[in-house]
Structure 1
Amino acid sequence: THYRKPMDWTAEKAREAEKKLDYLYSLVGDEPLSAEWPANDKVVAALSDDLNTSLAITELLTQASTIKHRNHPEADGFDQAEVAMLKRSASLLGLLNLSENDWLASKKRLDLTVYADFLSQTRAVAVENKDFTEVDRLKAAFVAAGLEVRMSKAGVELVVDWPAAYSQMLAEKNDGRFERLTGVDRVETVNWLKEKLNSICSGEPEWE
């Protein structure tokens, strides 16, 4: 989506984007990011054309398709320079700032199931007691931490709003960094959010 247009964002597109990142990380592995390597000219040209990120990502994926996977049976011709250039090009879009191991770890590090179950159990008790004070406290605290709370008869679902969680983390830490979510920031946000949610569910005072 161009920055001048409303964001066309759905859960399905989010999953597709994550799959593409998985694919790109599988190519670059733990190759370090280096400014010594030039970025792909076509990626640079797309970004120079009024920040045409859609075209830039297309060019990035085209570049990736020319690189043999390092685990491919014919990977003898694997070109490390091409991989380094791919990572350099992706960095212009705020992508591939992690190693593959850190990327995979960041995806597994935050499981919201336990917090959703906790809220669901609290709601069940509230229904019996006809007192939703604790449910309201948990919902408000989760939202303030950067979660979207979806409650229905089927149960409770928690979804992270990453930009909101990142902004809240910066505000709490009184951190003046430019508020742009990158891969590195996501790992930091995951760690902060996990501590925050544990604190919320333990009933400790929040947002002092």
Structure 2
Amino acid sequence: MTTIKLHNTKTRKREEFVPIDPENVRMYVCGPTVYDRAHLGNARPVIVFDVLYRLLRHVYGPDHVTYVRNFTDVDDKINARAAESGRSIAEITAETTKWFLDDMAAVGALEPNEMPRATAYIPQMVKMIEGLIASGHAYAAEGHVLFAVESYKEYGALSGRSIDDMIAGARVEVAPYKRNPMDFVLWKPSDADTPGWDSPWGRGRPGWHIECSAMSYELLGAHFDIHGGGNDLMFPHHENEIAQSCCAHPGSGFANYWLHNEMLQVEGKKMSKSLGNFFTVRDLLDQGVPGEVIRFVMLSTHYRKPMDWTEKKREEAEKTLLGWKETIDLERDAVADLFAGDNPPPSILDALANDLNTSLALTEVRKIAKNAAATVQGKVELAEALSFLGFDYTHSWKITFGTSLDKTIGDRVDLEALELRLSEVRSKAMQTKNFDEVDQMKAILVDAGIEVRMSKDGVTLDVTPDFDPAKLEALK
């Protein structure tokens, strides 16, 4: 069996991964607060932990891995968005949840086994809070319930900070009902204009941190294998999760391995609306950047290093991916016959087993691709490598582009629309036995750098590195 080694934030060391139960490997990753589109930085942990999920499934078997990623659908940001838009909270969270799933699917992420919504676990949160009060780790005050940080002696161990350091360096809410400035909210009161649930402390809603503790307990148990997220969550969110979970379930240990990905920059600067370099995943997709290209750029940097999104990296990723696919397509039917989808080359597996070294894995793919053109087996190996990293070699790596083509196709034309148009022309030609229009359209597409494949099953188009959308003007 492959030995997986992971950098454990908890111990600050790279350790061999030994699951609590190899028949039931469990991982929890903090998910999004659903009030708007996912920005590019939100995609990084999704892609990072998607790779880990794929690795765990390969090593332990798909039926023996449970991956949970939550949706925070009760939050002050959501409340504010509802107030400013005049839309209901339920409508906003349903819409943005779908947006998130669609955008993450576009970058090649598998859906987790469980995707709990916070609002579906309010009774479990209330029960956990009641237990913390009963054991002396929390207290009620003025409609709030707060966790008493000083009651948990290990507080700060994950982030390596003392309570005094955290008070000095953190923006803590100053409130007269707090016994200690670092005490954090488990429950807070709701007014008539904000969502609320009945509780022993009055109508209110949960604090942010208690959500993940309650949901992970219900779905994975008191003690599970891996907890992950961005390093911006290490403090206070993950620190608070550990404190309340370990106090609610003494002796449990909560999570054995903690993994944190570094943050994302754009052209060397922190992504910020004020700098004009803030954009969402959907922004890129709508601009014609294929989801696979976004994934490639993300995986080009090790997850524990800051990732810099640049236009140059995007262009290089697109060229590289198209080149790899072009190699496979030289003998695509033969590759499809031999492709298993679960047979990654050992070099790729070894790279990922070494603390998810995705940048090394892509280097290994380049080596495989260099020799793949010579044999069918080499192309199969390339397809298997891409598949394991989350790239579907059979998928049309779509590039959307603006043109002035026939308005019946639309103002923004993509390969699928062109496939449909050529299919209709071909179908008509098969009836009339006059293939002049088919040949003319095919010639224009090929001249524009689009590979055309026609078989009894239909028409398939793919862009090549020589793609030039301006030449499609001839289709008018």
* Alignment TM-score, normalising by the size of structure 1: 0.43
**Structure label with greater radius of gyration:** 2
Q: Would you tell me which structure has more helix in proportion to its own residues?
A: 1
